[in-house]
Amino acid sequence: MKNINFDIKQIPVLLKAFRSKLDRYASFIFIMCVLLIYGLLVYQISSLVNVKPNEEVITQQLKASNRPKIDQATINKIQQLEDQNVGVQSLFKAARDNPFQDN
């Protein structure tokens, strides 16, 4: 059995020996720390993704959000301007066409 008693003067020698052993495994310890942090991050994200919202909260949010309303006069004015301008008509027609279909 080793002697547990030691002098304070031995502490720097012991720390130097410990540091030399630690330097040998520094890259391994660094990689393990990075992997641990990555694993905790993935676990935290997966636990937050699986949380289901409460139905009361959903209802409150739906009631709180107001849908924008456009009056009929504005709709009629937009349609009138679209009919008058040929360039705008072609833009609207091009936007309605399927971009994945060859003409």
Give Dmax over CA atoms of the chain in angstroms: 100
Predicted TM-score (pTM) of the model is 0.41
Return phi, psi of residue 59, to 5°.
-65, -40
Residue 80 · residue 89 · CB < 8 Å: no
Banded model confidence at residue 64, pLDDT cuts 50, 70, 90: confident
Residue 88 · residue 82 · CB < 8 Å: yes
Instruction: Give the tens place of pLDDT for each residue, 13-53.
Output: 888 888 888 888 888 999 999 999 999 999 999 998 888 88
pLDDT at res. 73: 92
